[in-house]
Chain A
């Protein structure tokens, strides 16, 4: 961290001609957010994205590791095609397609008498809980 701070300080001094002090402060803030993003429990849903893969669940990992699937998957929203619009009971102007990082394979296990599923393989597949009703 000291090395990065020193590099940042040198960079800040040398780029003072083209960057104002407020912009430098903003860049320092982005750097700190990047450091915070490196912690696995940090929810960075609107920032950087890692591949859908197994991550350690620190809450349930006591005597042995319990993994859960997490990561980024592709989604898009676009104007509903005319042909699809005609088949809708309630026509909607926008169609949203999404995939979510879910467990492809898992097995049931016990953690302190609590039944949990330990994920063993992940993939981007059907989202079942992404709707706001």
Chain B
């Protein structure tokens, strides 16, 4: 039994360096609409981690040709909808947000993503009272009532 446990640890140490570092990560999204009374906290997953990049010794001449620049971004995305509470009757209380199913190190797709140049802190400050939305277990891409 002890030999098997030791063997498993040795195998784990051999595998560990090749474990990918860009992974789906739990994240709390704060949504505040002017026509709604609450700031809603929604649990979702985003892509976060580290990716290999490399600069070029001839960037002045060849620019991006020998440069490796990748970012941790969404691979497979699922969109879910939450109904925000306390919204005006004539307003649209639905809020659709992306959920990361898988992530990868790749180029930033300008057709889908806003590719910013620098890291910014996510502004989660709510001016209104915060309420949480909890999805039903196993629910996927459905309307999530509060």
**Interface of A toward B, CB cutoff 8 Å:** 4, 7-8, 10-11, 14-15, 17-18, 27, 30-31, 33-34, 37, 43-49, 52, 55, 57, 60, 66, 68-84, 88, 92-103, 114-119, 122, 126-133
Contact = CB atoms under 8 A, between A and B. Distances in A.
A33 B50 contact: no
A79 B97 contact: yes
Given A70-B53, A130-B69, 16 more contacts: A15-B11, A18-B4, A31-B14, A48-B17, A48-B18, A49-B50, A52-B53, A71-B54, A76-B47, A92-B113, A94-B77, A94-B112, A96-B115, A127-B69, A127-B117, A130-B107
Given A77-B73, A117-B60, A132-B109, A34 B114 contact: no
A114 B110 CA distance: 35
Contacts of A95: 113-114, 116
Contacts of B97: 79, 93
A70 B112 contact: no
A100 B136 CA distance: 39
B58 interface: yes
A10 to B, nearest CB: 8
Nearest to A59: B57
Interface of B: 3-4, 7-8, 10-11, 14-15, 17-22, 25, 27, 29-33, 44, 46-61, 63-64, 67-74, 77, 79, 96-98, 100, 103-110, 112-120, 122-123
B53 A57 contact: no
B118 A68 contact: no
B119 to A, nearest CB: 5
Contact of A8 (B8, B14, B109): B14
Contacts of A81: 30, 122-123
Given A15-B11, A126-B118, A130-B107, A115 B61 contact: yes
A69 B69 CA distance: 12
A75 B8 CA distance: 32
B115 to A, nearest CB: 5
B111 to A, nearest CB: 8
